[in-house]
Amino acid sequence: MILLTGGLGYLGSHMAAQIIEQGHEVVLVDNLSNSQFAVLDRLSKLTGRVIPFVQIDVRDKAGLQQVFSQYPITQVVHFAGSKSVNESIQQPLDYYDNNVNGLISLLYVMKEAQVKTIVFSSTAAIYGEPEALPIPESSRQAPITPYGRSKQICEQVLQDLAHAEKGWKIAVLRYFNPAGAHPSGIIGEVPNGIPNNLVPYIAQVARDERPFLQVFGSDYNTVDGTGVRDFIHVQDLIDGHSKALAWLATQPQVFDTFNLGRGEGVSVKQMLDAFSKAVGREIPYKVVARRDGDSASVYADASHANALLGWQATRTVDQMAVDTWRFYENLV
Chain residues that interact with ligand WQD, rule: CB under 6 A:
83, 85, 123-125, 175, 177, 196-198, 201, 213-216, 227, 229, 268, 291, 294
Which residue among 95, 96, 127, 147 is the active-site one? 147
CB of 274 to ligand WQD, least distance (A): 13
CB of 201 to ligand WQD, least distance (A): 4
Select 71 or 216, whichever has its Cβ closest to ligand WQD: 216
The number of CA neighbours under 13 Å toward the Cβ of 61 is: 11
Distance CA 53, CA 319 (A): 30
**Do the bridges between strand 75-78 and strand 228-229 make them parallel or antiparallel, or are there none, so unpaired?**
unpaired
Which secondary-structure segment (H or E) carries 326? helix 317-330
Select 67 or 319, whichever has its Cβ closest to ligand WQD: 319
Distance of CA 229 to the CA centre of its chain: 15
Select 229 or 262, whichever has its Cβ closest to ligand WQD: 229
CB of 237 to ligand WQD, least distance (A): 10
Q: Which residue stretches of 146-286 are H helix? A: 146-164, 198-206, 234-248, 268-279
Tell me the residue number closest to ligand WQD, measured at CB. 227
The number of CA neighbours under 13 Å toward the Cβ of 58 is: 30
Q: Is 201 a catalytic residue?
A: no
Select 27 or 179, whichever has its Cβ closest to ligand WQD: 179
Contacts of 6 (CB under 8 A, 6+ apart): 12, 29, 30, 35, 78, 79, 80, 81, 121
CB of 69 to ligand WQD, least distance (A): 31
CB of 324 to ligand WQD, least distance (A): 12
How would you class 36 by CB atoms within 10 Å of its CB: exposed for 0-12, middle for 13-18, buried for 19 or more? middle
Write b or e for each residue in 266-295: b if 16 or more Cβ atoms lie within 10 A of its Cβ, otherwise e.
bbbbbbbbbbeebbeeebebeeeeeeebbb
Select 4 or 51, whichever has its Cβ closest to ligand WQD: 4
Output phi, psi for 285, to 5 deg.
-150, 160
- Amino acid 101 reads N
| Catalytic positions | 147
